[in-house]
A and B are shown apart, each in its own frame.
Chain A
């Protein structure tokens, strides 16, 4: 079945450094969503990308959808301690009415 592979599994950065997590698939994706889960919390929707080559920004966060729609990335510029958490990508299963396949997540820790 459809899968999305997310790398890296863990990333430790010094506050102020940049961070990127990648989401890859062997098949063309209809869309990609990104979620953030704070430690002890629940996933919170960040953004959805649907168009080939799409780039969206939210303050220090930049989201990209690859031209072939088989990969996506989330880049955080100048990390802050509030960025700590696990970032998940997810893709909708086409015509299966809203079901999502989640990646394994990238856990980000930020050292002050």
Chain B
């Protein structure tokens, strides 16, 4: 089992609050990703990073931002949460052979 961690696992927060979802991996992977997934639905890539100080937006437009100051850490921030942000957020990292290892996810509910 891969070592990738996400906190918090569950978060209920009010509209307008700023939140940061944490993601860390201990495998030394250069590539990391954030996906958004609604229940029973496909995964949508919202951010990715090829390494330190490298971040790109994914295929699904998102109001969130990310940073990559350290290889092992890839946090995602929402400056002002809205009910439309309610979803599951999955962090992943990949090795040189491109299989992706996912964290347990953060289930976000914005009221």
Residue positions of A touching B, CB distance < 8 A: 1, 31, 33, 35, 41-45, 48, 86, 88, 90, 92, 97-105, 107
Assess the A48–B98 pair: CB atoms within 8 A. Answer: yes
Interface of chain A, helix or strand or loop or mixed?
strand
Least CB distance, B25 to chain A, in whole angstroms? 13
Assess the B94–A88 pair: CB atoms within 8 A. Answer: no
With contacts A42-B104, A43-B90, A86-B40 taken as known, whether A33 is within 8 angstroms of B48 at the C-beta atoms is no
Assess the A31–B98 pair: CB atoms within 8 A. Answer: yes
A44 to B40, CA, bound (A): 15
Assess the A92–B98 pair: CB atoms within 8 A. Answer: yes
A98 to B42, CA, bound (A): 18
A41 to B59, CA, bound (A): 23
Q: How many A-B residue pairs have CB under 8 A?
A: 54
Assess the A45–B101 pair: CB atoms within 8 A. Answer: yes
Out of B42, B98, B103, name the residue touching A104 (CB < 8 Å).
Answer: B42
Name the A residues within 8 Å of B104 (CB-CB).
41-42
Assess the B100–A45 pair: CB atoms within 8 A. Answer: yes
Name the B residues within 8 Å of A92 (CB-CB).
98
Assess the B50–A97 pair: CB atoms within 8 A. Answer: yes
For residue B102, CB closer than 8 A to chain A, the reply is yes
Interface residues in B34-83 by Cβ distance below 8 A to A read: 40-43, 45, 48, 50, 58-59
Out of A35, A44, A48, A88, name the residue touching B97 (CB < 8 Å).
Answer: A48
Name the A residues within 8 Å of B58 (CB-CB).
99
Name the A residues within 8 Å of B90 (CB-CB).
42-43
8 A-B contacts, Cβ less than 8 Å apart? A42-B90, A42-B102, A48-B99, A88-B43, A97-B50, A98-B100, A102-B43, A104-B42
Assess the A44–B43 pair: CB atoms within 8 A. Answer: no
Least CB distance, A16 to chain B, in whole angstroms? 25
Out of A31, A35, A43, A98, name the residue touching B94 (CB < 8 Å).
Answer: A98
Name the A residues within 8 Å of B41 (CB-CB).
104-105
Least CB distance, B70 to chain A, in whole angstroms? 19
Name the A residues within 8 Å of B40 (CB-CB).
86, 105, 107
